[in-house]
A and B are shown apart, each in its own frame.
Chain A
């Protein structure tokens, strides 16, 4: 469905995307992860033909991009990072207007609107103005808008950033429905739980290149120990000195917290038992741990 070879994009001396290779199969949900500035949004823009690459080739739904980007975009629905719904139009009018950009006749769009509104849970809001919608409703409408022409593939750029948990879960449900309906999805996110929930396969990007690639579970298994114990409290520095080296497979101190990665959590918990002034959280390791291990803990802005 999507095939990318050696994709490179430079802005002046800065290489934002460097020699990226990607393959996304039909019906797959593919995650593009990375810290801010890793090149996720630029990659999506390149895939859509909205900016020209400095090197490399893209084939989207069998169509070369950017050479035939207009044709390729007929087959893609896009949910951008920033909401850009038309504030001058109602919910329904937004869908109607957007359909026209795909060359759809008015009747065909009108026939599709009820289904889209139902999908977005906005059936009762058809005539509401955009300013009256909550953040979650706006995102759902943006998602519905991306589906107006029934695309084969969907690009979502951080679809749940800024939403509350209820709203995020609603978006995820919508995306699962689309996945089970056979749509191909390319998703960028920096929420690891989102990627873990939705993506069949993902790549972690940093500084424009891929640092890891695979299914979420497989990535966790290959890159990191199965359990993490986060230890904090007054006694953490002495405990770290006395025990971390022996019971943790790998450990890392971040601020006042010790992250103890281990293959044998019982052993760590045993060493923590009955020590005064210590608190801890024991949890299975997750994608976020992989992400932080591979991309580091420094702030990116």
Chain B
């Protein structure tokens, strides 16, 4: 793999790849939006209202608000992850769309940057929808502050898009992605404070949690929902950027080994 590891050569040529994915998505936009958004929305509202009634304030806020802030990060993560796992894998391995693109004057760097930026776009969409619910239900502290959630959501999409592309690069089939969900995504959801505060965890797991990308995402998103300035912003931003960039670079090397050996 090290032979294939090098600094990505980024160019604007990624745009036609992004555009290709956008045009396909546009054809099925309504069912796609419903499919992407119904699930997190149902969890958020069902648990938020149902479970929230039974609970006192959590971390100093109503449970629905607590959960809404977690769901912004969680659904954005999922949107990007699903996109670069199942959809990118279809395009790369099943439909061979990437092969067709690589016969044109495009590089793998362009193709994967197009996929990554598309995953960011899907994350933005997903995050905006949850944000709309937060606005609609008045779950926020300061409206202007919530607008900062939009760049956060893009950053979370970049982070998990990059990480997911690594899985895409090494996967022999769709079934393989289940490992990623059961071994990485689901534990992370439970460790990073989506459904309950990290402070409920034993100290050891709290230590683990601090290193996980979803924690950075939630530590940025939750204060912004409540209406306070997040602590340690540079650390969280750098963390998300680092995970996403490392993911993209490693994924590029692994995919180069897979397709261009």
Contacts and interface: CB of A to CB of B under 8 A. Distances in A.
Contacts of A102: 104-105
A82 interface: yes
A71 B105 contact: yes
Interface in A75-96: 76, 78, 80, 82, 84-89, 93
Contact of A73 (B96, B97, B105, B261): B105
Contact of A50 (B16, B95, B102): B102
Given A11-B261, A101-B106, A103-B105, A86 B100 contact: yes
Most central of B19, B27, B103, B106 by chain A CB within 10 Å: B103
A101 to B, nearest CB: 4
B107 interface: yes
Interface string B87-112: 00000000111011111111100000
Contact of B105 (A51, A85, A101, A145): A101
B16 A100 contact: yes
B260 interface: yes
Interface in B6-62: 13, 16-17, 19-20, 23-24, 27
A73 B102 CA distance: 9
Contacts, number: 61
A93 B103 contact: no
Contact of B104 (A73, A87, A93): A73
Q: Which of A76, A85, A88, A145 is most buried by chain B, counting CB atoms within 10 A of its CB?
A: A88
A82 B96 contact: yes
A239 interface: no
Interface hub of A82, A93, A101 (most chain B Cβ within 10 A): A101
A51 B100 contact: no
A45 to B, nearest CB: 8
Contacts of B95: 84, 86-87
A80 B103 contact: yes
Contacts of B23: 89, 93, 97
A86 B96 CA distance: 9
B103 A73 contact: yes
Nearest to A149: B104
A167 interface: no
Nearest to A74: B105
B132 to A, nearest CB: 28
B103 A48 contact: yes
A98 interface: yes
B105 A86 contact: no
Interface of B: 13, 16-17, 19-20, 23-24, 27, 95-97, 99-107, 260-261
Interface of A: 11, 48, 50-51, 70-71, 73-74, 76, 78, 80, 82, 84-89, 93, 97-98, 100-103, 145
Q: Closest 4 CB pairs between A and B?
A: A101-B104, A84-B96, A78-B103, A100-B16
